[in-house]
Amino acid sequence: MILGSIDRTLVTSRNALTRQRSTRRLAFWSISGVTLLWLLYYVHIWFFTNIQSPAPGIVFCFFQSGIYAQLMSYSTMTISGFLPPLLMAILAFSTMKNLRHLRVHPAAHEHASTALSSKDRQLAIMLLGEIVISVVFSSIGSIIYVYTQRIPNQSKTIEQRAVDNFLLDFSLDLVFIQATVAGYSNFIISKTFRKNLRKQFWTIILNACRRTRINYFSNMPSNALDRTARAGTIHLRTVVMHE
The residues facing 49 across adjacent strands are 63
Dump pLDDT digits (tens) for 155-214: 777 777 788 888 888 887 887 887 788 778 878 887 877 888 888 888 888 888 877 777
pLDDT at residue 95 is higher than 60: yes
Give the list of residues 6+ apart from residue 1 with CB closer than 8 angstroms, or none.
Answer: 84, 88, 130, 131, 134
Does residue 196 form part of some domain? no
Give the list of residues 6+ apart from residue 14 with CB closer than 8 angstroms, or none.
Answer: 98, 101, 102, 107, 111, 112
Does residue 218 form part of some domain? yes
Give the mean model confidence (pLDDT) for residues 78-98. 79
| 94/210 same-domain check | no
Give the mean model confidence (pLDDT) for residues 9-16. 77
Does residue 198 form part of some domain? no
pTM of the entire predicted model: 0.57
Does residue 17 form part of some domain? yes
Q: Phi, psi (5° rounding) for residue 58?
A: -120, 120
| 119/222 same-domain check | no
Dump pLDDT digits (tens) for 218-234: 655 555 445 554 544 44
**Which residues form the domain of 53?**
2-189
| 106/21 same-domain check | yes
Does residue 53 form part of some domain? yes
Does residue 199 form part of some domain? no
| 13/113 same-domain check | yes
pLDDT grade for 36, boundaries at 50, 70 and 90: very high
Please name the residue ranges forming H helices in 105-221. Answer: 118-148, 158-189, 191-218
| 218/165 same-domain check | no
